[in-house]
Amino acid sequence: MKKRVLLAEDHLGTIEVMQLELEVLGYEVTVAQNGQEAVQKATAEPPDVIVMDMLMPKMNGFQAASSIRQNPKTKDIPILASTALARPGDREKCLESGCDGYIAKPFTHRQLGAAIDRLFEAQSN
């Protein structure tokens, strides 16, 4: 059975590319176009992993990750911050908000797959 990824991303071009990359990597993909939708979808049908853009409308990725961590139903879902925020301290801010991993845009599908694999490995330990 395919692992399910919730892709939280607001930029349509990025959604198309990342959804295709994730499907090529063998994942079933659900898309949320803002943080609020990501929290709702994660709660309604918890995915195996969430790939979270940090800069989105309605609710940003920091707020969404924090909200997901506070819900007993979703608190253990691994969250990968996928962001253009790549200045010193940005990675730490992503992790402090509740993300388990961090990948800076732009990245290759191999880098994305490796980052997701690391989250699954950490979860199984």
Whole-model pTM?
Answer: 0.95
Please tell me the predicted confidence (pLDDT) of residue 88. Answer: 86
Question: Domain 4-46+58-121's class?
Answer: alpha beta
Cβ neighbours for 5, distance < 8 A, ≥ 6 positions apart: 22, 27, 28, 29, 30, 47, 48, 49, 50, 51, 116
Tokens representing residue 86 in the block = 């790549």
Residue numbers in the chain where pLDDT is lower than 70: none
Please tell me the predicted confidence (pLDDT) of residue 19. Answer: 96
Please tell me the predicted confidence (pLDDT) of residue 43. Answer: 98
